[in-house]
């Protein structure tokens, strides 16, 4: 029996197959890889989790696909003989909204109070609805970037700087893919740091490093799982 796996895949914004094949992808058509399958080099690639697919995304054209035939597995992607596109849509707006959601969550977890970071996300949402200009968005983004030099962020270290950058990235007029990816990483980092602070207090009388490492890995995994669920729901709604 041929194995079939549902996965996510992104295309260049021109909708063409990658790696030298100029064919425009059509929903409902099954595409075949010729020759020996080689992870990252030859085959029909996709990822089970949407955040993993974002890492490799060349554009914002998102596809829900079915992989079948011979399938190679890596930690964050699959390489298959066949890939059938079940649904396809431009996810630019969806990815920007996802970036805003996770940036807000990161700021909340970190208890960040600098209004410039929060305002950048508000202006980005207004911009997506046509209620703010690109100039206003750029100004909000610059202000959020400036927040990384504020004393409160400097005292909190690299984590708070990452979070401020996440807010700025969410306000960026550029790639929705980059915005979504960088803010997702930042919210996972914020959640991990919050968890580690509790582990550090609990581990003072024992082996501190082991407790902190465990808390860090657990929190990152929990945050990432929640983000994948959120993004899956948003993309499913878009493709419905």
Q: What digits encode the pLDDT tens for the residues 108-120? A: 887 778 888 899 9
Q: How far apart are CA 167 and CA 39, in angstroms?
A: 34
Q: What mean pLDDT comes out for the span 85-94?
A: 96
* Whether pLDDT at 239 is above 90: yes
The predicted pLDDT at position 232 comes to 97
Q: How far apart are CA 20 and CA 24, in angstroms?
A: 12
pLDDT band of residue 54 (cuts 50, 70, 90) is: very high
Tens of pLDDT, residues 136-192: 999 998 888 887 665 554 444 556 677 777 888 888 877 999 999 988 888 888 788
Angle, in degrees to the nearest 10, between helices 134-146 and 158-170: 180
Q: Answer with the residue of higher pLDDT: 152 or 26.
A: 26
Stated pTM of the model: 0.86
The predicted pLDDT at position 91 comes to 96
> CB neighbours (10 Å) of residue 116?
20
């Amino acid at each position: 029996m041929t194995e079939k796996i549902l996965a996510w895949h992104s295309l260049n914004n021109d909708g063409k197959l990658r790696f030298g094949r100029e064919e425009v992808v059509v929903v409902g058509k099954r595409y075949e890889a010729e020759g020996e399958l080689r992870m990252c080099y030859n085959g029909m690639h996709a990822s089970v989790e949407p955040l993993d697919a974002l890492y490799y995304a060349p554009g914002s054209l998102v596809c829900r696909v079915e992989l079948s035939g011979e399938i190679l597995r890596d930690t964050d992607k699959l390489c298959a003989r066949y890939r059938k596109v079940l649904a396809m849509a431009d996810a630019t707006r969806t990815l920007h909204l996802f970036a805003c959601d996770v940036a807000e969550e990161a700021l909340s977890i970190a208890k960040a109070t600098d209004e410039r970071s929060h305002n950048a996300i508000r202006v980005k949402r207004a911009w997506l609805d046509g209620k703010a200009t690109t100039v206003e968005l750029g100004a909000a983004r610059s202000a959020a970037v400036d927040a990384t030099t504020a004393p409160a962020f400097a005292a909190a270290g690299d984590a708070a700087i990452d979070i401020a950058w996440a807010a700025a990235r969410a306000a960026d007029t550029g790639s929705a893919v980059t915005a979504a990816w960088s803010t997702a990483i930042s919210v996972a980092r914020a959640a991990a740091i919050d968890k580690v602070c509790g582990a550090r207090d609990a581990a003072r009388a024992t082996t501190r490093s082991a407790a902190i490492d465990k808390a860090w890995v657990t929190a990152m995994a929990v945050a990432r799982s929640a983000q994948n669920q959120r993004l899956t729901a948003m993309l499913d709604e878009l493709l419905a």
